[in-house]
Chains A and B, each alone.
Chain A
Amino acid sequence: MKKLFDLLKKTFKGLDIGLREVSTSLIEKELEEIENIFALLTMGTFAGIPSPPTGIILRILPFMQKEIFVMIKRSKSLDDAFAETAGMFDID
């Protein structure tokens, strides 16, 4: 009985995690995209993208590690952007 109860508990927990993942995956993707845009806008000066006045960049630069990380990660996967989008929408 206890074993069955544990199994059910595990199953529901797994289901809960799965559903939570599904429900937030699109928002997380969007979040990552906006973070990437934010990084590109503020760090774009290094890549020739029109950038805000240097003062703003210098002020927020020390706190940009997450955005820079996302930007670098995104730029690495740019050549496979189509596969990424397809994966996102479960297209095989």
Chain B
Amino acid sequence: MDIYFFLGKGGVGKTTISASFSVGLAHYNKNKKFLIASLDPAHNLGDAFDIELSNKIKKITDNLFAIEVDLEKMIKEYLNDLATNMRNTYKYLSSFNLDRYFDILRYSPGIEEYAVLESIKKFLNSKDYDGLIFDTPPTGITTRVLALPRLTLLWSKRLMNIRRKILDRRKMVENVKGKTEAIIEDEVITLTSDEKEDQIMIELVKYNKEMEDLMNIFQSSLTKINIVTMPEDLALFETKRIIESLNNFDIKVNNIYLNKYLICDNPPEVIKGKIIEQDRVTEKMRNEIKNINIKDIPLLSQSPRGIEELIKFYDNYLMI
């Protein structure tokens, strides 16, 4: 399965380019099935297709499907399930104010990145498609999401080591005094010293494996990272930062789409400066960024909307 991510800051044209890319890919690979998913909380994928999309997968063409993932709803549902689960397991801890903790969790740092990653994981596991295209939230969140599996692995390995120490000590006590018991609010809980029975260890090992698989996918050649940017100084700095931060996590960038490139034979005085900046940035980008394809996409008088226009856009500017 090939996975395509489209990254970039807001307003550079990620959605148009990813939508057009997905339509083109599906059009020229009729024997394969594709899914494009918008993970941006401010969805406008449906606008690009000129079709109303929702949180449910919708058929766009014979072999292309699309969804606008509702991250808010996903977080809410997940926390609700977790709360129900905890109310059952934490019945001994009535003094522990669960609702208060959940209020904090909803706004805890990283919850959105977690939801985006869970959503990506869900689509990767579905195995229903030959190719996945992700229109992502603005750069900051996406680079953190792509780095999350590797970071999580660092943490989970450390926590597994500490957990092992706990279970070892429990085993020592158990050998002398029998099974360890904890009395929590007058209820007696028997604690295990076996790694295979300890629920926390089981979850850590399971999550560790999931993150390892994700990290391997992100670092493999199956994942194609595409940066959408514009020929401006600030955009160049950001592009370099994305490449650098992804390189730190061994994730390779494949293509850069230099969107909204101004082509004008006799530019009026007011945009002359812009064209000078554009030429300077383009030259700098080609000199400084090696081994990554850079494609220019001109600023069009009208953004492509609807399947027909998106295919034309793909034919003219995106086809490799």
Contact = CB atoms under 8 A, between A and B. Distances in A.
Interface stretch (B81-89, B264-272, B284-292, B304-312): B81-89
B155 interface: yes
Contacts of B113: 53-54
A59 B162 contact: no
A12 B173 CA distance: 20
A23 B175 CA distance: 11
A45 B182 contact: no
Nearest to B185: A69
Contacts of B110: 53-55
Interface in A12-71: 20-21, 23-24, 27-28, 30-31, 34-35, 37-38, 41-42, 45-46, 52-56, 58-66, 68-69
A41 B172 contact: no
Contacts of B78: 58
A66 B113 CA distance: 28
Nearest to B184: A69
B311 to A, nearest CB: 38
Interface of B: 78, 82, 85-86, 89-90, 92-93, 95-96, 101, 104-105, 108-111, 113-114, 117-118, 148, 151-152, 155-156, 159, 162-163, 165-166, 169-170, 172-173, 176-177, 182, 184, 189, 191, 199-200, 203-204, 206-207, 211
Given A55-B207, A61-B86, A31 B173 contact: yes
Q: Chain A's interface: helix, strand, loop or mixed, by majority?
A: helix
A63 B200 contact: yes
Given A46-B101, A68-B96, A58 B200 contact: no
Given A27-B172, A27-B173, A68-B93, A63 B203 contact: yes
Contact of B152 (A37, A56, A63): A56
B166 A64 contact: no
A74 to B, nearest CB: 14
A66 B155 CA distance: 21
A88 interface: no
Contacts of B151: 53
Interface of A: 20-21, 23-24, 27-28, 30-31, 34-35, 37-38, 41-42, 45-46, 52-56, 58-66, 68-69, 72
Contacts of B148: 53, 55
Contacts of A72: 95-96
Contacts of B109: 45, 54
Contacts of A53: 110, 113-114, 148, 151-152, 155
A45 B114 CA distance: 15
A59 B159 CA distance: 13
Contacts of A35: 166
Contacts of A65: 89-90, 92-93, 96, 184, 189
Contacts of B172: 24, 27
Contacts of A66: 182, 184, 189, 191
Contact of A38 (B82, B85, B111, B166): B166
Nearest to A21: B177
A48 to B, nearest CB: 11
A69 B182 contact: yes
Nearest to A58: B82
A38 B169 CA distance: 14
A13 to B, nearest CB: 14
Q: Which of B85, B113, B176, B206 has the most CB of A within 10 A?
A: B176
Contacts of B211: 55
A65 B182 CA distance: 10
Given A24-B172, A56-B156, A62 B89 contact: yes
